[in-house]
Each structure stands twice: as C-alpha cells, then as structure tokens.
Amino acid sequence: MAEPASRRHLERLAELDVSTELFTLALSMALEDVRGCTDFDAPAARGFLFWSRANRYLAELLVPEGWGRTSKDNILRVIHPDRTHAITAISGERGVGDLDSPVRSKNPKGPAMARMVEKNSRLADQLAIVSHDVVLHGVEVDDLPTWCLLYKRDEGEIKAELSQPVKMRGKFVDEWLERLPLTLPPMEDPGFDISLDEPDDGRGPEVFVELLGEN
C-alpha cells in the first residue's frame, strides 16, 4: 500500500519547489482527459494521453512560475527556474509510493533515458553544472539532476511518488537515489479498466512504408 508522506518528505518536496497538491492537480486533470477516450480509440491511446497530459499539465502549472520546459530526446521535462533540477512524469510498476517495496519504470526506456540516468548517478553528490553554451535554458538539460514523477493505477486508485533515478538494468529504470511518496486524495475512477502506460521511450507506433517502383 502507498506510504503516507512524512514531514521529512514534505519538506524535501518543498526544497524542490513542488508539492503534493501540484502533482494531484496535474494527475487529476490528465485522468479527466483520459475519460474522454472510448473503445474506438487506439488500444494505447489512454496510456499515451495520460503520459502526455500529465507532463503537459505540470508544464502549464509551473511555467508561469518561472520554470522552463523541454521535449529534448522525447523526454518531456520541466526545468526549475534556478536550473538545479528537472522533472518528468512516467509510468511505474511494483510498489509505487511504497518505500518498503522496489519500484521501476513500467515501460522499457531507450538510450536517451539511459544517458539521463547515468548523468544523475554522476551528479548525485555534485551541484548542477551550469553551461554558458545553451541560450535557451542557460544550462545543458542533460546536466541537470532529473526526477521522475512515477504514477500507477492500482485497484482504481492513482498512486505516485517523486524519485530520482540513478541506475538502469537493461531497459528499465530500477534504482533510485531518493524516493518521496505522495499521498494523493481519491480520484474518481473513470469506470473502466485503463492502462496508464506511456509509449516505450516516449515514441509512438512505428509505421513502415514500402515505396513501389513504377511498372
């Protein structure tokens, strides 16, 4: 079961300039959008939409507060105004929100996520590295410690945590420097079984096109 956020966890969230209320609002708005999907949508539409909208609403809520945003390498991230860290929302599995259970990313991740996680590991005991070469953000995005808002639908409830990845085994992120459980209020169940998986590595389905020569 999800672990209640302790005072220490709430203080840590505040240090990162985020809150349980912020994530509750972003995830609840994403869930509301998913309710508009029907069985006539593509099978993966609900998961793709939830992933996209969770990241979109994080950006819509935080950009007016001075945060930046980027979709570099198909990783949707919001960037703290002081360029100290970034946040991306992805689906998780196993014990999301339960510190007594291991947790990992649900979908396999590609080389872009692997590079981000490796950078997190190297920066674990360092300050963020500021680059003067990047005009848009004032910092190399990949040099920022990146946190993952992990979410999971479990028995009709949304469970979540904010955690900092530092290791991947194969294509799954499964080792974390810090894990901060989020105590979310009940969100109205959409009334049907849904999967909240985002697409593998942030990509959509592959389409193969064969070009036929003239007869």
Cα gap 136→115, rounded to integer Å: 21
Contact 148, 97 (CB under 8 A): no
SS (H, E, C) 99-168: CCCCEEECCCCCHHHHHHHHHHHHHCCCCCCCCCCCCCCCCCHHHCCEEEEEEEEECCEEEEEEEEEEEE
Q: Is the pLDDT of residue 142 over 90?
A: no
The pTM assigned to this predicted structure is 0.80
pLDDT tens for each residue of 62-84: 999 999 999 988 899 999 999 99
**Coil, helix or strand at residue 69:** strand
pLDDT tens across 104-129, in order?
A: 888 778 888 888 888 777 766 554 43
* Burial class, 100, CB count within 10 angstroms (exposed 0-12 / middle 13-18 / buried 19+): exposed
Residue ranges per structural domain of the chain: 7-202
> The tokens of 138 are what?
């004032």
Section 14-39 average pLDDT: 93
Those residues with Cβ within 8 angstroms of residue 172's Cβ, 6 or more apart along the chain or in another chain:
104, 105, 108, 109
